[in-house]
Amino acid sequence: MIVVIDYDIGNLASVVKAFEYLNVPVKLSSDYRALAEASGIVLPGVGAFGEGMENLKRLKLEKRIIEEVRTGKPFFGICLGMQLLFSSSEECQETAGLGLIEGEVKLFDRNKVGKVPHIGWNQVEIMKKDQVFNGLNGENFYFVHSYYVKPVRDDVILGKTNYGNQTFAAVVRRDNVWGMQCHPEKSSQVGLSVLRNFSGVVLNANNTSN
């Protein structure tokens, strides 16, 4: 069972529906005990960094997420959920992120990219082979965001995207934690392929642990 974390933020239902379309067992929950029972965890979201972290803390999910990741459980952050994986954000400098991946979330520079937010379809250039990219090779995904992640270490970057005169990390991974700035649930069949591939990672991890 994959648990999609319900933390009173936008764009949760569409992620659940995407997994349901793929016939993947999924549950939307804000119960921290559900994370312990999950085979894999997804943190999606559209909204502000500060509000997202505040909601996770209020629901007693922040520490539980970190504990579950430390067990090796597959974890996937989408859009805001990806940004919350990082240490800090320019959007809310007084609020620390989950710190699962070292780095900062930064606001796009309009002088480099033009329009902010970045909205639309852009290619994700695959930098490293990974299970979540099985069957994919540089397809376009749908983006909606004003901030981008800047990891401390380049070796966590799985995919990059060009927007205006700037290249940013679009997909990252550190051990059992994946993050994707674009929206697979809104990216037609290529996005569904990513979610299907992540479901396969969860299934393999579960079989290995049994």
Residues 6 or more apart in contact with residue 131 via CB below 8 angstroms = 197, 198, 200, 201
The active-site residue out of 62, 68, 104, 185 is: 185
Average pLDDT, the chain: 96
Question: What CATH number corresponds to the domain at position 62?
Answer: 3.40.50.880
pLDDT of residue 204: 86
Catalytically annotated residue among 79, 91, 104, 139: 79
Catalytic (active site) residue 185: yes
What is the model's pLDDT at position 156? 98
CA distance 2 to 16: 9
Cα(24)–Cα(1) distance, integer angstroms: 8
> Residue 12 sits in which domain range?
2-208
Calpha distance 170→148 (Å, rounded): 8
The stretch 22-40 carries a mean pLDDT of 96
What pLDDT band is residue 208 in, cutting at 50, 70 and 90? Answer: confident
Residue 146 CB partners (closer than 8 Å, separation 6+): 107, 108, 116, 117, 118
Contact 63, 32 (CB under 8 A): no
pLDDT at 109: 96
What pLDDT, on a 0 to 100 scale, did the predictor assign at position 209? 65
**Domains held by the chain: number:** 1
Predicted confidence (pLDDT) per residue in 148-192, tens digit:
999 999 999 999 999 999 999 999 999 999 999 999 999 999 999
Question: pLDDT (tens digit, 9 = 90+) per residue, 102-132?
Answer: 999 999 999 999 999 999 999 999 999 999 9
Q: Look up 68 and say whether it is catalytic.
A: no
Would residue 183 show up in a list of annotated catalytic residues for this protein?
yes
